[in-house]
Structures are given as C-alpha cells and as structure tokens.
Structure 1
Amino acid sequence: METTEKLKTQNAKAKKMMLWFGIGSICMTFAGLSSAYIVSSKRADWLTQIELPFSFTISTAIIILSSFSIYYSRKMLQENKLNLTKYFLIITLILSFLFTYFQFKGFAEVIDLGYYFTGPESSINTSYLYVLVLLHLAHLFAGIIVVIGLLINTSMGKYSKENSLGIELAETFWHFLDLLWIYLFLFVSFYS
C-alpha cells in the first residue's frame, strides 16, 4: 500500500515537472518572438500607429473569465461535486470558443484596416501580430482538447476528490495560457 502511494506521488511530481518544462519552453518561444518584435521595431518600415482591434480587448476579458471557470471546476471536484465540475468545464469550453471567435474577428478587423500578413500591403508589425496570436491560439487549441478530455473523464467517473491530478495540471496550463495572452495583449498594445 505504501509503495503504491509512493509511486502515485512520484508519478504526480513527474507529470507536474513535465508540465513546467513545457511551460518553460513556451515562455522561451514567446520571449524570443518578443525580442524579435522589439529589435524589428527599429526598422524603417515599422508602422507606429497600429492599434489592436477592440475584439482583442473583448477576448482578453473572456479569457480572464475562463480562468475563473476552470478554477471553479477544480474547486468543485475537490468538494466531490461532479455535476458542478462538469458545468464549469463546459463554461470554460464555451468561453474558449468565444475567445477564439473574437480572435478571428480581430483578425478580420486588422484586414479591414488594410494590414495583411503577407503581400505588398503587409507590414512587419502585422506579420508579428499574426504569428504571436496564431501561436497562442495553437496552444489554446491544445488546452481546449485537454478540457474536452477532462469533461469526458469526469463524466466517466475517472476524477474525484482523491484523483484530481489531471484537472490540476489542466488548470495550471490554462492559467498559463491566460497570463500569456494578457502579456501578449499588453506587450503589443504598449510597444506599438
């Protein structure tokens, strides 16, 4: 019995460490892109008057709300309230889809302003904007897949108050994605 608990603890530590290594590598990727953004801002063709579309502001509020919903899903699991756990996971999914919708709406607004990713009308600013946002969205899609998996596993009874590692890891990753978006939003807003 003691050996089983010890193995569970070691397994949990290993999974948490893997998550933090993944988060660290994502941070390094975005730090490199942020650095390139700053260096590129010295170019003669850098546009100084680009404002982020309001849809990105809306999506920022939505992703902050999703942080609360995933937090409450874990909290409800710790209280063994599985129906409420599923409810808050569904809310998190809905908010993530709304976030994605407003991201693409923001891209449409950027294009309507005449800024493109490539081609003669493109600028280095918008190219970086597209790369930063799309790379964040790629990680968000991974998070969405994880939340769907959590919802399925919770519905199948695989998570409980005693077995909550999966939802704890997902919550950590989700909060990281939220903070990453807030950083990107503020960075691009204030550095333009």
Structure 2
Amino acid sequence: MADRPLILTALLEESAQEHFDDLRRRHFPSDRNHLAAHLTLFHHLPGDQEPAVDAAVAEATERPPLTARVSAVRLLGRGVAFDLRCPELTGLRRDLAARWEPWLTRQDSGKSDLHVTVQNKVTPAAARSLYDDLSAGFEPYDVPVVGLALWHYLGGPWSEGPRHLFDHS
C-alpha cells in the first residue's frame, strides 16, 4: 500500500454518519457511489509516509471529541453537500497541513472548507431539485466528531487504514 495515496477523514458519530450515508445512497448515482459519506481533511498524502502520517494523526487525536455545526446545504453545480463549521477541526487540519507542507498537493494546500457530499455527478437540474428539497426548512444542527481515519486510495474505492478516536478522558 506504500504506493497508494492516503486520505484523511474526520469520523462522525454513528447516527450522523448513518444520516449522511442514507442521503448518499438515495441521491448519489449508484454506479459511481463507491464510498460512504465522508468529511475529507486531506485528499492525497504520500502512502510511503504512512508511519509518520499515522503518528501525527494519533498525536492530533489526544484531545476531547469535537462538535461540528452542520450550517448549510450547498449546491455544487452537479451535486449537493452539507457545509460544516468546526473551528477546532479547522485548526487541527491547519496544524497538520503546516507539519506536512512539503507533501501537500495544491488541492490539500488550499483546502479550508469542511463539507459532506451527498450527491455528485448528476445533471444540474437534478442537483438543483435535491438542493431545493434539502434546503426547505433546513435548520443548522450539531454533530459530534469522534476521531480521524486514514484510508488508502485504490483508484476509486478506498480501503480502511488506521482509525484514531479522540481521547474521552
């Protein structure tokens, strides 16, 4: 797996994860939906640096769990996502980015938003329809962020790597 890029995601509490997974199953084209819903922090970390990456992730989770605010529904053009706000998670990501700066792609260097995509790769009309449905009556709500997970990118699907839960003590 050393030649496969690593992806770092935030782990959401089980009921929040199930909610986003359900939306993704219902609205993401099934022939393109190879993944569970996810909150990606980094898209492409070097697989040959997995021990160092994993050690930094383990260290970053030595803190209490976080709470993210699902703040808005976002139209992506050909899909829909939920925006999340969590200053602590954004700060954690910023600290890891500074540590990993020599390894970061342009996408990961510039990334600052947090979101969970529940639909993508559809027509703009289908995306607009779902956006309108999900936006109607939307009220912001909180979801617990319970840890971080590394994944191995397999050219489409991902395989699970190490998971680290935030310290509850």
TM-score (norm 1): 0.29
Higher helix share: 1
Q: Which structure is higher in RCO with an 8 Å CA cutoff and minimum separation 6?
A: 2
Higher strand share: 2
TM-score (norm 2): 0.32
Larger Rg: 1
